[in-house]
Structure 1
């Protein structure tokens, strides 16, 4: 258990099943953002997920603080469907091995990636892409090289998303 006190609830991030009109925090699913002050005086912002029937130990204190916040006028926002770009930003990274073998499995040779890099107009960006291609340990879905690869081969972002999920299995 955390050896500290919740000094402030910063807000609540709903899940898709969150009922924003519910006033009993023990019936609400979502993430509470809050500040803890430890016994040594240090403070830290933390988050805890609350889910009905699954709150034990420290999360009981978080639930109590969140209920006090809600009772004092705190507002639980409506859940908003994330945009495709927001979803892409949180897609898991691929190891360099997964990405390179995935490309190979979709008939994209390393020389084609080299050609994509060579087409980058700005020298600094081109050299940064070359360094990443040759030395990166992992790749993010929205990395400029990944975006350029998909665009150059005529893939829609949705097709690249599907390929990304496939590459994760390699």
Structure 2
């Protein structure tokens, strides 16, 4: 699978009714300490997203999304 641009997952989530602020809240709720800070930096500053990155699975699961 090709990496996604930073825009693609954000627009996909928005199309699914999930706002960017909901993702930030979710990151804060499922992770703590350094992992939370690292995840927030990844979400805020990554220019591409690898669909197999653990952050994608963690956030997707917490938001009730399937791997598909």
TM-score over 0.5 for the alignment? Answer: yes
Q: Which residue of 1 aligns with 2:23?
A: 113
Q: 1:98 aligns with which of 3, 8, 12?
A: 8
Q: Which structure shows the bigger proportion of residues in strand conformation?
A: 1
Counterparts of 1:156 and 1:133, CA distance in 2:
19
1:149 lines up with 2:59 in the alignment: yes
**Aligned pair count?**
67
Q: Which structure shows the bigger proportion of residues in helix conformation?
A: 2
1:155 Cα offset (Å): 2.6
CA offsets 1:26-55 (integer angstroms, 9 cap, x no match): xxxxxxxxxxxxxxxxxxxxxxxxxxxxxx
1:109 Cα offset (Å): 0.4
- For residues 3-82 of structure 1, what are the structure 2 equivalents within 5 Å? none
Q: Which residue of 1 aligns with 2:49?
A: 139
SS at match of 1:155: coil
- Residue pair 1:116, 1:148 contacting (<8 A) in 2 also: no
- Gap runs ≥5 in structure 1: 1-90, 160-170
Counterparts of 1:144 and 1:125, CA distance in 2:
11
- Gap runs ≥5 in structure 2: none
SS at match of 1:134: helix
- For residues 120-131 of structure 1, what are the structure 2 equivalents within 5 Å? 120-121=31-32, 123-131=33-41
How high is the TM-score relative to the length of structure 2?
0.85
CA offsets 1:91-123 (integer angstroms, 9 cap, x no match): 2110001111111111110111101110203x1
Counterparts of 2:23 and 2:10, CA distance in 1:
10
